[in-house]
Chains A and B, each alone.
Chain A
Amino acid sequence: MAVNRIACLLLFALALAVPLACADDKPVIPPDKFVYCTVCHGVQLKGNPLIEAPRLSGMDEWYVERQLLAFKNGWRGTHANDLVGMEMQPMAAILTDEDITQAARYVSSVASEPPPATIDGDVQRGQSLYATCLACHGNNGGGVEALGAPALTGLNDWYLLRQTRNFKDGTRGSHEDDIRGAQMRAAAQVLADDEAIRDVVAYINTLQNR
């Protein structure tokens, strides 16, 4: 199934002649109340760098749910430096718990081609730095639900870069109730500087496993 899915996504990316028509991953028509998600995050939630809205397609349901709750609870999108998060926060604030469950189901059901790599870095150095990350996020970057660590693959690299910086400088993971965020904030300190963050992101770009 996974292989089929990858092949399908590749076909999807290459065979532009047949947009949104993939044998296995049919385009998902968003429920009316979630159409607005696609205004910023793009068709099939493929992401839109101009709005700084990351690709969400196929994110794990549990993680989407947790993130929407984090936004709703004000753990995300309320820090004075988190300007992009603040754009998102009001959208999550209006969702009921049931909406969040449905939104997470919708997001995880959507597929799109893998995002393009846009960030250069020293992949080898990134690989050695990733040794710390793999304990939670898995050696293929696929995430480990039991540890609450989301997949790192399938995300826009510019989004990974921004969030890692946010964790490192405390823009994200500083809210006292955000326990998972605090864990990651501590872990991000392992990356000494911006170059190290770029190198890790460049390495994660090579882990196309989803």
Chain B
Amino acid sequence: MTQPISRRHFLNLVGAAGGSSAILQTGLALGLLPETGPLALADVQPIGRASRRILILGAGVSGLAVAYELERKGYDCTIIEASKRIGGRILTLRSGDEVDEMGYRQVCEFDDKPNLYFNAGAARLPGHHLHVLHYCRELRVPLETFVNDNRNAYTQDDKAFDGRPVRVREYATDARGFMAELLHKAVDRNAFEMPLSEDDRERLLAFATTYGDLTADGRYRGSERAGYKSGGFVSHGEIKEPLDFTEILKSDFWRYRMHFSEGGDQAMPVMQPVGGMDNIVRAFVKNIRSPILTNAQVQAIQLRNDGVEVVYNHRGKQHKVSGDYCFNCIPTHLLSGIYNNFSKEYAATLATLERGHLFKIGLQMKERFWENDNIYGGISWTSQPIEQIWYPTHGIHSEKGVMLGAYTFREEHGMMFERMNPRERIAAAVAQGERIHPGYGSYVEAGVSVPWARMNHMMGCNTRWNDELQGSKFRLLQDPDGRHYMMGDQISYHSGWQEGAYASAHHAMGDMDRRVQAELAAERATG
């Protein structure tokens, strides 16, 4: 008698026949697996007794992931890294760490305590960044929630409210209240191009009332969402007077910052590794057997019909190595300074990608003063060049904390800080922080600045794709040139995100795997 086959057992059979991606697809169809978006891990096949040599240029996380995956499938991998540090733009600064900036070598002077660290590069892991979360799970890197948005934090704009900081809670609630009131009035006057049914009208009025916390007659008169002026626990809570709507409009906060934490990659919750982002790098290094050569600067990349040849300098000598395939995460803007024989269009496209100028400052504060101001994690935003300050989520109620004192998205702000020396940068960040938190400077014990466009062997972050260039040229760089694959977050639609690096690495490995399997099949046929 035939036993009925369980769905779980069926999946195991599918897996045996078709590999993990077949399980995933079938599981999705059977409704057994959550559909959080496909995790496109390359299903690289072991190469058995065959041998294949892989050259990996750059020990950023895409390079580390390639070595980790391919060495487990029998590939012979070597990582060649120009700098003395492994991890690329995963950079966690702690007591005594060197900041290898061109011309301005800094030493991080934070206290030597586990919670006093600064993620100067990648810092946030959203729940749908499946590759990086996969590796955190597989490599046992503990994660914790990272508070990326805080209504109790401030928005400060020189053009509004006389430059005074305003709680995000107040600004956002009042802005919504006023917008809801306008919507309510528009419905009342039937000011829509589309005729509304009576039911629609009623629902829309109710929506506006709830959305903006309006009075019964559709007016915005303030809301407890904005916080109480006084009372609320043992006495009646007095709600605040709404802010002046024209001041709300004058501030640039609504342009994107107010909605920043609604972004696909920024929406709460997001995560961070416990103890620093570089725990991911450490976990990779611990689990990789392949040699990782540091201080090994690539001089030339030569594509051949049967492989790729790489020349690099190491310990005062020049070396030439060949591989069957090459995976390259060297920043695209540095490749124009390295000899290569890439095909014309490939090289020309690489030469159009300009470098970004992201910039961060970390400040050790002797006291967690923000917690006395009801702020636990999150971001305050300002129109000043520092643009934002972050309050650390970890180490709540401990003695000290490391804040992010600047993170510039606008290129002119990043470049402005690049032109200062480290001391001037900290002074500028402190002066600007004072506008949000009076007395800010009195808490600062140590500061580090990381201008990515001046960091040795890096000289930029992130890659400046524009829509047009991405539309016309992205595939060209995503595809291999001969046996050479460009990769990293720079070859993804998520430049500047760690997830982009892994996704691009897996895309490249998947392509190579198909080629190697075809080569091995051909060898078996002729052999």
A-side residues, CB < 8 A to B, are 16-17, 19-20, 27, 29-30, 32, 35-36, 38-44, 46-51, 53, 83, 86-87, 89-91, 93-94
Contact = CB atoms under 8 A, between A and B. Distances in A.
B336 A16 contact: no
A87 B339 CA distance: 24
A48 B415 contact: no
10 contacts: A27-B318, A29-B313, A29-B317, A29-B318, A38-B297, A39-B82, A43-B299, A43-B337, A43-B338, A50-B351
Contact of B337 (A19, A48, A91, A94): A48
Contact of B339 (A32, A43, A83): A43
B238 interface: no
A99 to B, nearest CB: 13
Given A27-B299, A40-B459, A50-B355, A91 B336 contact: no
A33 to B, nearest CB: 12
B418 A87 contact: yes
Given A35-B297, A36-B456, A49 B336 contact: yes
Contact of B415 (A50, A83, A89): A83
B89 to A, nearest CB: 15
Contacts of B456: 36, 39
Contacts, number: 88
Contacts of B338: 42-43
A48 B103 contact: no
B316 A41 contact: no
Contact of B311 (A20, A40, A50, A93): A20
B109 to A, nearest CB: 19
B102 A36 contact: yes
Interface string B258-273: 0000000000000000
Nearest to B103: A90
Contacts of A29: 313, 316-318
Contacts of A91: 102-103
Interface of B: 82, 102-104, 297, 299-300, 302, 311, 313, 316-318, 333-334, 336-339, 341, 351, 353-355, 415, 418-419, 421, 454, 456-457, 459
B102 A19 contact: no
Contacts of B351: 49-50
B334 A48 contact: yes
Contacts of A49: 336, 351
B337 A38 contact: yes
A61 B353 CA distance: 33
A15 to B, nearest CB: 11
A27 B337 CA distance: 15
B300 A20 contact: yes
A20 B339 contact: yes
Contacts of A94: 103
Contacts of A20: 299-300, 311, 318, 339
A19 B339 contact: yes
A194 B29 CA distance: 65
Nearest to B341: A16
Contact of B302 (A16, A36, A43, A90): A16
Given A44-B339, A87-B454, 5 more contacts: A16-B341, A19-B311, A20-B299, A27-B318, A42-B338
B104 A17 contact: no
A47 B338 CA distance: 9
A104 to B, nearest CB: 18
Nearest to A16: B341
Contacts of B297: 35, 38-39
A8 to B, nearest CB: 15
Contacts of B313: 29-30, 35
A94 B334 CA distance: 23
A36 B313 CA distance: 13
